[in-house]
């Protein structure tokens, strides 16, 4: 069997996981109908005669699976057999409730060895992101000795030193806001999106002390009302707000808009933005040039060899964290220790490989099941949102590295326990079986000395513990697989380790399914389409302006606007543009109303003669 299957795990294009070969081929033998744990092979594999036989054999194993489920000794043995711990970090991994078989592990071995080799090359500076021709160096950020060139090593070390020195100076009040009665910075307003927001948001929620030296707020969208809300919440403290604008590319529209809105607020408050602005971006980007020309307070670098979603250990994550009094060197140490632990080429001793293997097993190597992430700790609330980008932007790819269409991915969602038990766990337990769970457990409930028993022998934290364990058991009893990651405490070190664990798992998984984890071509399509909508809006405005400047004014139907824009095929979009502008008092609807598109006739509130000749 091994010999006949080994080729199926090679990277040969014809043997790639294929969604066409899913359960549909043999519905009666769906592994979902089996009780747990499974012994069937992943159904993404081509259905050869031998695989069909192996599925048939799995039916006969179904009873023994039931026995395993009922047999606490066997389950305990499986727990111990696969239990992983990283002692120094106090991090444990339990994958006993995922039903992979020894045979499956053996079959995955060659793929993992290839993935370990690819990871080794990546860490040595290979062009691991071939589509963008870039190195992938986030691992160097926490161990600069790994950097492939001495200049990079120096750059990483100097940047870290300057982040620490700058934040010390801000916190101590050595660097002051020019016109604040407080005499020191009290607030951070972070402007950025995607990888330039999610990491800082997660770290702030997880690690910021109750009374940080600077409190942080985020603008991570181009929603005007959301931006207004953040600025309004700052109120007079805008004068003591350090604005950190984060964009690797330096040209992301949402971030640019956030910056322009904040600069307007500064102008209106009579404040000098430049003296309170900090940029984190690549050298010579639009943002970098703006910050340099306008003389902003400080600039910190981003590098083309660090991706947005893995930038949390660069200035992107470290500067906001340091300013909130979080020990960033500890975060880096945690990540470095985890990097070391996930470098081993023994699957069983490598927690990231174990995760990647379970993901492959649970989702059939094609993302057929979603990953629900449930941290049982309020401060880790944003971990699932952070992982959503890390995993889905990395693994959600149309093509594999050989150019075959694979439509890979792994859906991630989640919030926190036990809160979610009162929201969607009902469906997870009893409803559609389209997921596997990851529990994040934190052993320490409260800082020492603060606990008390709210009923004899039981604390509030015991309830949280009970809810987690109860949900895990209830899911398992209904054949739902789960992974449990345990940390002792939420500290900079353990958070650094968690981040590094998942970064590595994503990298290994991507290798195993033969995709590039480090680019995001799909995002470009949406950005391009958005730019086209805005370009069309400008054409609509120009056509309306021309009609408005006529004497008498010529109200236009949607058809007439579309024709004059030479875009009859865009009539629906033109209607939406008109409806949006109308809702924002930007155009006059002369006749009809926006609710009935055919009735609309439009002209502008006033003719702008200058635009006619622009």
Ligand X SMILES: O=P(O)(O)OC[C@H]1O[C@](O)(CO)[C@@H](O)[C@@H]1O
Active site residues: 393, 422, 527
Q: Is 523 in the site for ligand X (CB under 6 A)?
A: yes
CA–CA gap between residue 32 and residue 99 (Å, rounded): 12
Report angle CA 6, 12, 15 to the nearest 5 degrees.
70
344-371 in b/e form (b: 16+ CB < 10 A) is eeebeebbbbbbbbbbbbbbbbbbbbbb
- Give me the phi and psi of 431, to 5 degrees please: -95, -150
Applying the rule CB under 6 A, the residues between 354 and 413 that interact with ligand X are: 393
Kindly state the smallest distance separating residue 203's Cβ from ligand X, in Å.
15
Q: Is 201 in the site for ligand X (CB under 6 A)?
A: no
Applying CB under 6 A, among 31, 65, 138, 309 the residue interacting with ligand X is 309
Shortest Cβ 332–ligand X spacing (Å): 20
Residue 221 C-beta: closest distance to ligand X, Å? 12
**Is-contact 158 301, C-beta < 8 A?**
no
Contact between 129 and ligand X by CB under 6 A: the answer reads no
Name the strand (E) or helix (H) holding 201.
Answer: helix 198-207
Own/partner long-range contacts of 162-167 (Cβ < 8 Å, ≥24 apart): 162/300, 163/300, 163/315, 163/318, 163/319, 163/322, 163/328, 164/322, 164/328, 164/329, 166/298, 166/300, 166/319, 167/319, 167/322, 167/323
State the Cα–Cα distance between residues 101 and 68, nearest whole angstrom: 13
Region from 101-109, 152-160, 245-253, 454-462 binding ligand X, contact rule CB under 6 A? 245-253
Q: Of 248 and 369, which has the nearer Cβ to ligand X?
A: 248
What backbone torsions phi and psi does residue 246 show, to the nearest 5 degrees?
-120, 120
Instruction: Tell me: does residue 255 bind ligand X (CB under 6 A).
Output: yes
Beta carbon of residue 73, minimum distance to ligand X (angstroms, whole number) = 48
# chain residues binding ligand X, by CB under 6 A: 14
Rule CB under 6 A: is residue 543 a binding residue for ligand X?
no
Q: At 216, give phi and psi (nearest 5°).
A: -115, 145
Identify the CA nearest to 173 among candidates 29, 309, 323.
Answer: 323
The interface region with ligand X, picked from 38-46, 78-86, 246-254, 361-369 by CB under 6 A, is 246-254
Q: Which of 283, 278, 513 is nearest to 404 (CA)?
A: 513
Q: Which stretch binds ligand X (CB under 6 A): 80-88, 168-176, 191-199, 432-440?
A: 191-199
Indicate which single residue of 54, 143, 196, 408 sits in contact with ligand X (rule: CB under 6 A).
196
Using rule CB under 6 A, residue 314 touches ligand X:
no
434 binds ligand X (CB under 6 A): no
Stretch that binds ligand X, among 249-257, 468-476, 493-501, 588-596 (CB under 6 A): 249-257
The residue among 399 and 424 lying less far from ligand X, judged by its C-beta, is: 399
Rule CB under 6 A: which of 549-608 touch ligand X?
Answer: none
Nearest residue (beta carbon) to ligand X? 308
Among 247, 263, 364, 421, binds ligand X (CB under 6 A): 247
Minimum CB separation of residue 371 from ligand X in Å reads 20
**Contact stretch for ligand X (CB under 6 A) within 2-10, 149-157, 189-197, 571-579:** 189-197
- Given the complex with ligand X, which of 93 and 321 has the nearer CB atom? 321
Give the C-alpha separation, 353 to 278, whole Å: 38
Cβ–Cβ < 8 Å for 148, 141: no
Residue with tokens 């996930």: 342
Answer yes or no whether residue 194 interacts with ligand X by CB under 6 A.
yes
Stretch that binds ligand X, among 56-64, 109-117, 194-202, 560-568 (CB under 6 A): 194-202
Q: How near is the Cβ of 281 to ligand X at its closest, in Å?
A: 8
Q: Which phi and psi (to 5°) does residue 370 adopt?
A: -85, 155
Rounded distance between C-alpha atoms, residue 578 and residue 590, angstroms = 12
Segment interacting with ligand X (CB under 6 A) among 101-109, 220-228, 247-255, 553-561: 247-255
Interface with ligand X, residue 222, by CB under 6 A: no
CB closer to ligand X, 49 vs 525: 525
Which of 11, 30, 126, 249 contacts ligand X by CB under 6 A? 249
Beta carbon of residue 193, minimum distance to ligand X (angstroms, whole number)? 5
Q: Are 417 and 375 in contact (CB under 8 A)?
A: yes
Look at residues 590, 524, 585 and name the one whose alpha carbon lies nearest to residue 552.
590
Residues 6+ apart with CB under 8 A from 539: 565, 567
Would you count residue 220 as binding ligand X (CB under 6 A)? no
Beta pairing partners, 556: 602
241 touches ligand X (CB under 6 A): no
The rounded distance, in Å, linking the Cα atoms of 197 and 547 is: 44
| Spatial CA neighbour of 272 closest among 238, 318, 245 | 238
Q: Out of 308, 320, 365, 492, which residue is the one contacting ligand X (CB under 6 A)?
A: 308
Look at residues 29, 47, 49, 48 and name the one whose alpha carbon lies nearest to residue 39.
29
Residue with tokens 């337990």: 429
Per the CB < 8 A criterion, the answer to whether 530 and 381 are in contact is no
Residue among 96 and 129 whose Cβ is closer to ligand X = 129
Q: Tell me how far apart the alpha carbons of residues 357 and 364 are, in angstroms, rounded to a whole number.
A: 10
Query: Is residue 195 close enough to count as binding ligand X by CB under 6 A?
Result: yes
Name the residue with tokens 């997870």: 428
Q: What is the CA radius of gyration of the chain?
A: 28
In the complex, the smallest distance separating the C-beta of residue 531 from ligand X, rounded to whole angstroms, is: 13
Shortest distance (Å) from residue 308 CB to ligand X: 2
Binding region for ligand X (CB under 6 A)? 193-196, 247-249, 252, 255, 308-309, 393, 520, 523
């Amino acid at each position: 069997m091994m010999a006949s299957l080994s080729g199926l795990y090679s990277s040969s294009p014809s043997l790639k996981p294929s969604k066409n070969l899913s359960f549909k081929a043999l519905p009666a033998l769906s592994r979902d109908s089996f009780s747990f744990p499974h012994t069937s092979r992943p159904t993404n594999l081509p259905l050869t005669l031998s695989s069909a036989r192996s599925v048939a054999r799995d039916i006969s194993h179904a009873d023994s699976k039931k026995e395993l489920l009922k047999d606490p000794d066997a389950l305990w043995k499986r727990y111990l057999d696969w239990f992983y711990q990283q002692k120094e970090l106090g991090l444990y991994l339990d994958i006993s409730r995922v039903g992979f078989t020894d045979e499956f592990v053996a079959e995955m071995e060659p793929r993992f060895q290839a993935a370990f080799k690819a990871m080794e090359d990546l860490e040595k500076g290979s062009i691991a992101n071939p589509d963008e021709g870039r190195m992938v160096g986030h691992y160097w950020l926490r161990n600069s000795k790994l950097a492939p060139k001495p200049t990079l090593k120096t750059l990483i070390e100097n940047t870290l030193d300057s982040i620490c020195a700058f934040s010390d100076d801000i916190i101590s009040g050595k660097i002051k806001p020019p016109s604040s009665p407080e005499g020191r910075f009290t607030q951070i307003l972070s402007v950025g999106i995607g990888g330039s927001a999610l990491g800082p948001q997660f770290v702030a929620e997880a690690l910021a002390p109750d009374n940080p030296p600077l409190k942080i707020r985020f603008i991570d969208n181009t929603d005007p009302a959301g931006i207004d809300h953040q600025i309004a919440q700052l109120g007079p403290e805008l004068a003591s707000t350090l604005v950190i604008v984060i964009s690797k590319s330096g040209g992301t529209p949402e971030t640019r808009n956030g910056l322009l809105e904040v600069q307007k607020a500064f102008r209106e408050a009579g404040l000098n933005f430049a003296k309170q602005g900090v940029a984190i971006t690549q050298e010579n980007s639009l943002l970098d040039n703006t910050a340099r020309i306008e003389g902003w307070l400080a600039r910190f670098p981003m590098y083309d060899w660090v991706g947005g979603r893995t930038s949390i250990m660069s200035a992107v994550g470290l500067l906001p964290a340091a300013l909130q009094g979080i020990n960033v060197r500890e975060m880096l140490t945690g990540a470095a220790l985890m990097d070391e632990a996930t470098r081993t080429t023994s699957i069983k001793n490598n927690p990231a490989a174990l995760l990647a293997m379970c993901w492959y097993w649970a989702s059939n190597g094609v993302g057929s099941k979603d990953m629900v992430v449930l941290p049982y700790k309020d401060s880790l609330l944003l971990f699932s949102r952070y992982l959503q980008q890390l995993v889905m932007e990395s693994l959600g790819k149309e093509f594999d590295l050989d150019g075959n269409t694979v439509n890979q991915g792994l859906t991630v969602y989640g919030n926190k326990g036990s809160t979610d038990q009162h929201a969607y766990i009902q469906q997870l337990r009893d409803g559609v079986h389209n997921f596997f769970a990851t529990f994040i457990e934190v052993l320490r409930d409260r800082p020492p000395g603060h606990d008390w028993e709210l009923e004899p022998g039981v604390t509030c934290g015991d309830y949280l513990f009970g809810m987690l364990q109860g949900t895990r058991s209830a899911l398992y009893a209904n054949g739902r697989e789960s992974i449990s990651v345990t940390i002792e405490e939420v500290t900079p070190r353990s958070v650094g380790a968690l981040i590094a664990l998942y970064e590595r798992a994503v990298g290994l998984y991507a290798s195993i399914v033969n995709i590039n984890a480090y680019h995001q071509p799909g995002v470009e399509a949406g950005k391009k389409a958005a730019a086209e909508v805005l370009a069309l809006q400008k054409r609509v405005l120009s056509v309306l302006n021309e009609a408005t400047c006529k004497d008498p004014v010529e109200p236009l139907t949607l058809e007439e606007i579309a024709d004059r824009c030479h875009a009859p095929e865009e009539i629906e979009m033109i209607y939406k543009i008109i409806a949006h502008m109308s809702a924002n008092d930007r155009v006059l609807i002369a006749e009809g109303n926006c609710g009935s598109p055919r009735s609309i006739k439009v002209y502008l509130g006033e003719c702008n003669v200058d635009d006619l000749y622009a």
